[in-house]
Amino acid sequence: MPAEPGVLARPDREAVIPITVERRGLRLPLFSLAMIALFVVAALVAPLLSLPDPTAQSLRARYTPPAWLDGGSREHLLGTDRLGRDLLSRIVWGARVSLAAGVVTVLLASAFGAAVGLAAGYYGGRVDATLMRITDATLSFPVILLALILAVTVGPSFTNVVIAIAVILWARYARVIRGQVLTLMRLDFVAQARLAGAGAWRIITRHLLPNTLGTLLVLVTLQIGYVIIVEASLSFLGAGIPPPTPAWGSMIAEGRDVVTRAWWVSLFPGLAILLVVLAFNLLGDWLRDTFDPKLRQL
């Protein structure tokens, strides 16, 4: 039916919705959610699973191949390492370390970085300039170097890994949140809140922070995967989680010298890192597309 003169024709919404859903990727990321749920559940219930002790050694069973290969054993489904420790058990317990490091580090860094970004964007002027120069200086400092310094001076530990990464990571949140706050400050609702007599704390907590939570959630999801990679890198270098605590990075390092004859020692921890990081990155991309107002208008 043609539109009346002077009235814009309305598009067929039923034809637009499937295109919009497909372009925005609004379908639930089932792979990401399944992988994250698998590793999180395995990490939480690891003490309840009937798995061998991840630190128990048996030199007679050293370098046992996976169960489906010749010489494998059902007692060690993914094989054993150079000390005869069960790889499946160590991967499951290593998930507790990697996920805990990722979540704790990101929560600390995002809380502090968001506070800095909100303060810099709201107050502006000298406060903004000072905080952003500190942020820029922090961004220029390498995480690996700081972690190595802490490992040499204090010793490698879970706490030092979290501190080393969080001390650098907060600056990324501060920079992004500050840019979004500067955009929000030019909108009418902030001016109206000021005219109504709202103070700085109320404007920041009731108006600015809720409007940055979408961006903050996307950053948190993406950065968990980044932290897991950094933690694994530090453990690989000997500056992360000290043995005998299972850590995916140290497990890969233990198998690098025998990768041609005992490839499973490094392969399966590497696959665990790949799956977890990929799952968090895909989930972060989906959240970004969901919260992006530009894509919402397509």
Is-cis flag, bond preceding 244, omega within 30? yes
Distances (CA, A) of 63 to 91, 95, 244, 252, 256: 16, 22, 17, 14, 13
| Closest C-alpha to 225, from 110, 99, 117 | 99
- What does the alpha-carbon distance between residue 40 and residue 228 come to, in Å, rounded to a whole number? 14
d(CA 247, CA 241): 7
pLDDT of residue 40: 93
pLDDT score of 192: 85
Sequence-ordered list of residues with C-beta below 8 angstroms from that of 139, at least 6 positions apart, any chain = 168, 171, 172, 175
pLDDT in single tens digits along all 298 residues of the chain: 444 444 344 333 333 333 334 444 457 788 899 999 999 999 999 888 878 888 888 888 889 999 888 887 888 889 899 899 999 999 999 999 999 999 999 999 999 999 999 999 999 889 999 999 999 999 888 888 887 887 778 778 888 889 889 998 999 999 999 999 988 888 888 888 888 877 788 888 888 888 888 889 999 999 999 999 999 998 898 888 888 889 999 999 988 888 888 999 999 999 999 999 999 999 988 888 887 656 554 4
Of 187, 182, 169, 59, which is closest to residue 112 (Cα–Cα)?
169
Q: Is residue 24 part of a domain?
A: no
Q: Are the beta carbons of 295 and 287 closer than 8 angstroms?
A: no
Task: Establish if 92 belongs to a structural domain.
Answer: yes
pLDDT of residue 58: 86
Cβ density class 72-82: b for 16+ within 10 Å, e for less: beeebbbbbbe
Torsion from C-alpha of 223, 224, 230, 236, nearest 10 degrees: -160
Q: What is the pLDDT of residue 5?
A: 43
Q: Is residue 8 part of a domain?
A: no
Q: What is the pLDDT of residue 240?
A: 84
Range of the domain at 158: 63-296
Find the CATH number of the domain harbouring 169. 1.10.3720.10
Residues in the chain: 298
Is position 38 within any domain? Answer: no
Per the structure, how many domains does the chain have? 1
Secondary element (H or E) of residue 184:
helix 158-184
Q: Residue 32: inside a domain, yes or no?
A: no
131 domain-assigned: yes
Q: Tell me, what amino acid is at 164?
A: A
User: What is the secondary structure of 141-171 as a DSSP string?
Assistant: S-HHHHHHHHHHHT---HHHHHHHHHHHHHH
253 belongs to a structural domain:
yes
pLDDT for the residue numbered 293 = 56
Q: Which pLDDT does position 7 carry in this prediction?
A: 39
Residue 22: inside a domain? no
CA angle 197-179-192, nearest 5°?
A: 20
